[in-house]
A and B are shown apart, each in its own frame.
Chain A
Amino acid sequence: MSAADDTAIVDAAARGRPEDLPNPVPRPDGELERLEAAWAPPKGWRLISAVNNNFIGMYYIGTALLFFLLAGILALIMRTQLATPESTLVGHELYNQLFTMHGTIMMFLFAVPVVEAFAVILLPNLQAARDLPFPRLSAYAFWAYAAGGLAFFCSLFFQVAPKGGWFMYPPLTSYEYSPGINADFWLLGIGFIEISAIAGAVEIIVGVLRTRAPGQSLDRLPVYSWAMLVFALMIVFAFPAIILATLLLELERAFHWPFFVAAKGGDPLLWQHLFWFFGHPEVYVIFLPAAGMVSMIIPAMAQVPLQGYRLVVIALIGTGFLSFGLWVHHMFATGLPTISLGFFSAASMGVAIPSGIQVFSWIATIGVGKLQWKTPTYFVLGFLFIFIIGGLTGVMVAMVPFDWQVHDTYFVVAHFHYVLIGGMVFPLFAALYYWMPTMSRNPLSERVGKWVFWLMFTGVNVSFFTMHITGLMGMPRRVYTYLEEMGWGPLNMVSTIGAYMIAAGVLLFVIDLFRTYRFTFDDDAGDLWKAGTLEWLPAGTYQTRSVPIVTSREPLWDQPNLAEDVEAGRYYLPGTVTGGRETVVTSAVDARPQYILQMPGPSWPPVFAALFTAAFFLGLTVKLVGPAMACGVLAVACVIWWLWDTDPGPTHPPMDIGGGLRLPVYATGPVSHSWWAMVVLIMVGGALFTCLVFSYLFLWLVNPQSWPPAGVSLPALGWPVAAGALYLASSAAIVIGSRLLAHDRIWPVVLLLVLSVVLIVAGIGTAVHGETQSGLRPEAHSYGAIVYTVHAVQGFYVGTLVIMALYTIARALTGRLDRRRRATFDNTMLFWHYATVQGLIGLALVAGFPRLV
């Protein structure tokens, strides 16, 4: 198709000239029925196997809200205990578990999952995609989270819940002071749930960048999609830090590898660095999606476009970056050099600039338009009020001397509840009220909604504003009771009354939800607010009947007859061209249609894989190693079962989706969505490895004159050099295999894959053998512990590569691999090269660095 045709069709979409749109009407008989049949959901109990974003998104939101209620109940128990001095309702042992679980569940099982859940539902709608690019990955992420999260919560009933606080500082949480399995529940449970969050992030990044409405270029992308892109990239760089941290602490607890034991060259501050390198971005990970929601809700409620769109996009990106320069502000009281505190204090103030840009943009939009006074508006205004107070106290605690005064007091508790409830919970409730008409037959009640708002708004301020004063009066956080003479009793009583007001508001919301919510995908309450973005188009399980061309940021406001033309099937892909589920993949920057992605229908393997993964981690936690390993093997088997029918190859010739636009139904290499997902996964691996290198250098820094420690000698240089050569040779064999695959020489490719496996396994074996030869023991000193961890992480990659290679060989031997159908091989190759580079850097670090210093 020529560029001139493009221009004519895009122009027709912008001006609403139906006769020039890609497809003529009336549409052929049976086209809609075939589309509906392809996207028909499973029935009855088989709904568990649904992978469609409507279903997974609703399961996900429902489960996250359940955890919100559960963690809220824990908060009420704590507030009841603290209402009066010297109360005996709960003892210190249970109280420690309560505050640990409250924080952990709210952060890990409610806040992050619920914003990912909303993205699963909203992104395809906002971008007129039929689904996200990896529906089964969404399903896996959800089921892993639901099963793992519920098992984690149940630890409370057996008195084995973690009790070291949501940030789990060692040495309190290490083997000496926390024997038993309480801490392991946190380390394995949360480490595992972070993997689910990362799976969601991969889905969101590729979804935002590659499955958009044609013409929805980056300058027309809804702010919410921008926010979710930044959010997901932040997860990719921040969450590996906590995964590494939990790995190190679990190694220390299980095998006594002393990363955090000062007497053996470790340092508890290493945990704090890793935790907060994740933990501070985490705050913005939660806030940015909420800010994205607000940037969608305010324009619709004010009936004008968002003022300063480009500045808001810049603010989202700026916040995403700058939030990685803040982590030490949680560590102002740990005795770090003044200059380091200065850097982080400065960055903490600096991040207020992009946050301020967004706030002023929202205020300007409200000022320019005329607000509809509906419940979402109330929650948005409540958000602005509460979040700004939280932001201002945030600037206060960014000042080091002030922070020293209020560190670990209720002032900090007040600050972060204002930030998190204001910055995340209120926008979430606004979003539930705002988007419910797209998910349910009935909207939520306006009358009840205003009661919910006023109860929650008043309750939050009564409960948490008071805590600023309690904190300034010196009440430390995390105490289960206090003496009457301290004079904190009346303020605590007020806070408790506020907490019950919040609870009353939430209870009313839940009652209204049960009363009014009725799941639907094709009979929803519709566009109550007269909004301008694509999620308000008429939709079915397949989302929109045809895929619109977008020429504006608010297409429903600017493109005449858009809804009617989309529903009539005048736009692209008004049916199914392959007979199954499919969506259009577009280019990242300008959203030009590139190919048709064939998508899976209902599927069991992701559900089983998730349950076995959860059972694997749970089994390890309760020290049932044998059954755990069996579940791990089964989980991998289920993943392979799930993957087997991916990479279908060019099953159809290029297909016409309307207007003479013929798209291929298969793609390999950098244009394919799977290549992008693999690149994102490699970024995750790179982030984890960078944190590992940081840990090594940190331990070196705190061990002057003993790196390696006395009595330990470095392995002879021949071992690491040989290991590196083997890594390189394995990658070279894969490259040769790739060349041969281009000529369809399958057997040599198989042999080269086998050779690559042998070479890379020999490589890691040589590296580890060199260390054992020199007599290095991991439990003696932090030096040995971190050196073996560098090799162990590499070993994990080698193990993964062995499975990937065997899988690729199996596909080759069953005729599923050839010069055109080679996405599986390409992904294996990409990951292989990454592992080789990482292995070489690791060898240079453990064998070269100590020789240099």
Chain B
Amino acid sequence: MSPARDHITRLLFMWSGLLVWAAHFTFIYGLAALSCARHLASAEMIAGFNVLQLGIMAATILALVVTAGFMAVAWMRGAAAVRSDDGGWADTGPFFRYTTVVIGALSLVAIAWNALPALLSPLCR
């Protein structure tokens, strides 16, 4: 990978939690819009939940797991591995490690919090 693309990849990895949040938000909003417009959310399927609620639950669990995965990778990669390629100029390893993990934590809260209305509120009224 070229150095320039490597820089972009590092920035995207830093933001990984929020990128997952964005994908999750887009999916659950789209699913809700589709289900309500096409009346797909009326019939219960499993354990009293309808297709919309089940879809949101599955997407949420997946999003939380993926985000936690990014956090774990960032944490385990640690500072040392990244430090070597910064030479004498800078040492951005610890910064990226910390920001990736905390952004991930913020995203976990945001993902779970965003999905909560699926369980708590009426759906398509």
Contact = CB atoms under 8 A, between A and B. Distances in A.
Contacts of B120: 342
B102 A346 contact: no
Contacts, number: 156
Given A321-B21, A590-B86, A701 B117 contact: no
Most chain A CB inside 10 Å of its own CB: which residue of B18, B90, B96: B90
Interface string B100-125: 00110010011001101110111111
A324 B25 CA distance: 10
Contacts of A313: 99
Given A339-B36, A346-B113, A353-B109, A317 B103 contact: yes
Contacts of B86: 217, 590
B114 to A, nearest CB: 5
Given A350-B114, A589-B7, A338 B15 contact: no
Interface string A1-25: 0011011111100000000000000
A318 B18 contact: yes
B21 A339 contact: no
A701 B102 contact: no
Contact of A592 (B11, B29, B89): B89
Interface residues of B, number: 52
A214 B106 contact: no
Contacts of A405: none
Given A338-B121, A346-B114, A6 B4 contact: no
A592 B32 CA distance: 47
Interface string B14-50: 1100110110010011001110111000000000000
Most chain A CB inside 10 Å of its own CB: which residue of B25, B89, B102, B116: B89
Interface string A654-683: 000000000000000111000110000000
Nearest to A588: B7
Most chain B CB inside 10 Å of its own CB: which residue of A219, A345, A354: A219
Contacts of A337: 32-33, 36, 123-125
Contact of A343 (B18, B22, B34, B117): B117
A314 interface: yes
A325 B114 contact: yes
Contact of B2 (A6, A340, A350, A669): A669
Given A219-B95, A321-B22, A337-B123, A314 B106 contact: yes
A350 B110 contact: yes
Contacts of A8: 88
A350 B117 contact: no
B90 A324 contact: no
Interface in B69-94: 86-92, 94
Nearest to B111: A350
Contacts of A325: 21-22, 25, 114
Most chain A CB inside 10 Å of its own CB: which residue of B7, B14, B103: B7
Contacts of A215: 89-90
Contact of A591 (B38, B89, B116, B121): B89
A66 interface: no
Interface in B52-77: 52
A214 B89 contact: yes
Contacts of A3: 87-88
Interface string A667-707: 00111000110000000000000000000000001101000
B124 to A, nearest CB: 4
Contacts of B121: 338-339, 341-342
Nearest to A5: B88
A218 B117 CA distance: 37
Contacts of B88: 3-4, 6-11
A310 interface: yes
B7 A587 contact: yes
Contacts of B8: 588
Nearest to B105: A314
A311 interface: yes
B114 A343 contact: yes
* 4 residue pairs, one from A and one from B, having the closest CB atoms: A342-B117, A217-B90, A219-B95, A7-B88
Interface of A: 3-4, 6-11, 209, 214-215, 217-220, 310-311, 313-314, 317-318, 321-322, 324-325, 337-343, 345-347, 349-350, 353-354, 587-592, 669-671, 675-676, 701-702, 704
